[in-house]
Structure 1
Amino acid sequence: MKAITLLIVTLFFINAALAQETVERGHKINAHITEKLTVLKSDKSTRQGLYQMIYDKTYALANGRFENDKKVGIWRFYAPDGHLLQNYDYTKKEFLYEAPEDTTSNLRYFVDKQLTDSDRTTKPLKIGGRYFGYLPYLKLFRLPANLMDISREASIAVVELLVSPGGRLAYFKVTIYSGNFSKTFNMNVNVLPEEDKVFVPATVNGEPIGCRIVSRCFIDDDGTLIF
Structure 2
Amino acid sequence: MKNSFFIITLLLITTFSSAQKIKKVSVKDESGLKETYSVLKSDPSVRHGEYKKATNYLLVKGQYSHGERSGVWEYYSPKSKLVQQYDFTSDTLLYNYNGLEYAMDSTQYTRSIVILGGLYPVLKQVGRSIRYPAEAKKNRTEGKVNVKFVVDAKGNVKQMEVVEGIGDGCDEEVMKAFQGVEFECIPALDLKGSPVESEFVLPISFKLD
Runs of 4+ in 1 over 6 A off after TM superposition: 165-168
Q: Which runs of 5+ in 2 are unaligned?
A: 138-144, 163-167, 191-196
User: Does the C-alpha gap of structure 1 residues 159 and 14 become closer, same or farther in structure 2, counting only changes over 3 Å?
Assistant: farther
Match of 1:172 in 2: 160
Match of 1:37 in 2: 37
User: Does the C-alpha gap of structure 1 residues 68 and 31 become closer, same or farther in structure 2, counting only changes over 3 Å?
Assistant: same
What amino acid is aligned across from residue 118 of structure 2 in structure 1?
Answer: R
What amino acid is aligned across from residue 73 of structure 1 in structure 2?
Answer: G
TM-score (ref. length: structure 1): 0.55
Other structure's SS at 1:44 match: coil
TM-score (ref. length: structure 2): 0.59
Alignment of 1:73-222 (within 5 A): 73-101=71-99, 124-130=112-118, 134=122, 138=125, 160-163=147-150, 169-172=157-160, 183-184=172-173, 185=175, 196=184, 198-200=186-188, 210-214=199-203
- Deviations along 1:153-193, whole A, 9 cap, x unmatched? x9xxx89451369776342369xxxxx8754346779xx8x
RMSD of Structure 2 on Structure 1 (CA):
4.9
- Deviations along 1:68-116, whole A, 9 cap, x unmatched? 1111111111111111111111111111111113xxx9x998x9xxxxx
Distance in structure 1 (CA, Å) of the matches to 2:30 and 2:110 = 32
User: How many percent identity over aligned positions?
Assistant: 21
Count of aligned positions: 174
Alignment of 1:58-77 (within 5 A): 58-77=56-75
Q: Which runs of 5+ in 1 are unaligned?
A: 112-118, 144-149, 175-179, 203-207, 217-227
Name the structure with the higher helix share.
2
